[in-house]
Amino acid sequence: MNASPLLSVRGLTKRFGGLVAVKDIGFDIRPGEILGLIGPNGSGKSTVMKLIMGIERPNAGSIKVDDVEMAGWLPHRIARAGVGIVFQHSRPLHRQTVLEHIKLALLPDSLVKLAADPHVNRRAREIAERVGLARVMHRHPATLPFADLRRMEMAKAIARDPRVVLVDEPFAGLTAAESEMFSELIRGFRAEGRAVLLVDHNVKSLAALADRVLAMYLGEYVAEGTADEVMKNETVRRVYLGGKIEARERGAEVEINNRPSILQVENVGVLYGKARALEGVDMHVREGEFVSVVGLNGAGKTTLFNAISGLVPYEGAIRYGARDLKGMTGAAIARAGIVQCPETRELFGDMTVRENLDLGGYHLSDTLRADQLAWLFELFPILESRQAQTARTLSGGEQQMLAIARALMMQPKLLILDEPTLGLAPVILEQLSKAMELMQKTTPITVLLGEQNVTFALPHADRVYVLEHARIVWEGSPARFEKEMGRGFLEAVPSEPVQARV
């Protein structure tokens, strides 16, 4: 491999107001090399890619292609210099066919005429065949499935013949077979001697492709090396998993297993436009059970919960007790007893803590509301002293506690918690964990928890599901997860669903 870097980044820094989105990031990518960039949501991965492409301007740092400084250049100038990007979201020209899109990418920037010569037409057809679009090259984008739209973005990037290729979330919304096809196309970039920067939430697919991996967290460098080295790095594992995996089995397992099902999810699939977000999901939750759904960012946890809560349309069936939820509004589902505490919290920032809680318990009598508040202040003592404080002035951990407390004010039969630990400090995680433990001891509530942080998800769980790439791939007890999945959660999850009923 050529020792001279094709892309060289040094000291890259980007601030948005008081937020430092990227801080002193640097790396090299040589011809014929793939560098994978990983990190949880908010790590700064996409910002790094936008800075290289000129979509955002850096506050500091150097970006060189073939030793030519390009930091701060406009995107079209960077593209002409040999940098191409494969966007996650396709924005096609709907009146043009697939072949015409590729031809436009092949034409020079200064156009005298739009008519392509025979060479351009022949080359466009070759590219269409290479990416698997030969059979649909004369169709318009609106008629294409999602994977073909992604293929078209890849074809446009190939047509521009870039020396440096930035690939953003190539596997999002694709099936396993489609992901493998895209992997082959990306390997083709490497074989042609291009330098590739690959960003994706699917850590395993990325690791299988990348020659080296760089991990980021909250805008900063964490680790760099081979995929195996980075995945074994303690800081990386703590960022993704939360720390050492420990399972504390709850008692009365036989009694819980004999309880009736409160929620049944059967063959559920969800499409966002043409992107596949969930595929053939089957799961169940028993009354009084604490079920954790674990998976990395982008696996489909939020989509699953939004389907259950009536917020997105879905294929398949979701039943709550004997009731079919399909066609019910989110409000009707909440009134029936399923309450979701969303990842985004959705608090009323200008209202006080007490006002947010009162909104959750507006349907309760004064006596019941007072009893519920007293119980919640036992779960989250800090909220009692913050009752008169506006929600936006609370810390992130206090806002998360308020969001959970407001959901509990509705007295749900099934509480859905979506990534409650996201971005919280360890001391807050400990407080939340204690609150979960007290909640389990003082109420018969059923909980469905979605988490990437398995050290938070496992101790309270009766059962665990692993959601990967839009599908359930594993089910079992926390103890079995620790034995079978603990070491391999970031590296190797079974590619086919495993039926492990307990």
* Helix-helix angle 98-106:118-130, to 10 degrees: 120
Q: Which CATH number fits domain 246-337+414-420+447-502: 1.10.287.70, 3.40.50.300, 3.40.50.1370, 1.10.260.40?
A: 3.40.50.300
Mean pLDDT of the residues in the chain:
83
Q: Encoding tokens for residue 55?
A: 């979509």
Tell me: pLDDT of 330 over 70: yes
Position 494 confidence tier, pLDDT thresholds 50, 70, 90: very low
The mean pLDDT of 242-253, rounded to a whole number, is 52
Residue 316: pLDDT band (50, 70, 90) is very high
SS3 333: helix
* pLDDT score, position 451: 87
Q: Has residue 177 got a pLDDT over 50?
A: yes
State yes or no: pLDDT of 65 exceeds 60. Answer: yes
Is the pLDDT at 157 greater than 70? The verdict is: yes
Would you state the pLDDT for residue 208?
Answer: 85
Give yes or no on whether 7-241 and 246-337+414-420+447-502 have one common fold. yes
Which pLDDT value is given to residue 265? Answer: 95
pLDDT digits (tens, 9 = 90+) for 220-232: 888 898 888 887 8
- pLDDT at position 421 is 80
Q: Is the pLDDT of residue 269 over 80?
A: yes
pTM of the complete model: 0.61
d(Cα 83, Cα 96) in Å, to the nearest integer?
Answer: 24
Confidence (pLDDT) at 292 = 92
Confidence of residue 116 (pLDDT cuts 50, 70, 90): low
The domain ranges of the chain are 7-241, 246-337+414-420+447-502
pLDDT digits (tens, 9 = 90+) for 15-40: 887 778 899 999 999 999 999 998 87
Higher local confidence (pLDDT), 459 or 254: 459
* CATH tag, 7-241: 3.40.50.300
CA dist., res. 288 & res. 161, Å (int) = 58
Mean pLDDT of 361-382: 88
Least confident among 112-116, 157-161, 176-180, 208-212: 112-116
Question: How many H helices and E strands in the chain?
Answer: 19, 20
Residue 194, Cβ density class (10 Å: 0-12 exposed, 13-18 middle, ≥19 buried) = buried
Question: Is pLDDT at 371 greater than 60 in this prediction?
Answer: yes
Identify the residue with better confidence: 24 or 482: 24
Query: How far are the Cα atoms of 167, 187, 219, 220, 251 from residue 45, in angstroms, in the given order?
Result: 11, 21, 8, 10, 42
pLDDT at 495 over 70: no
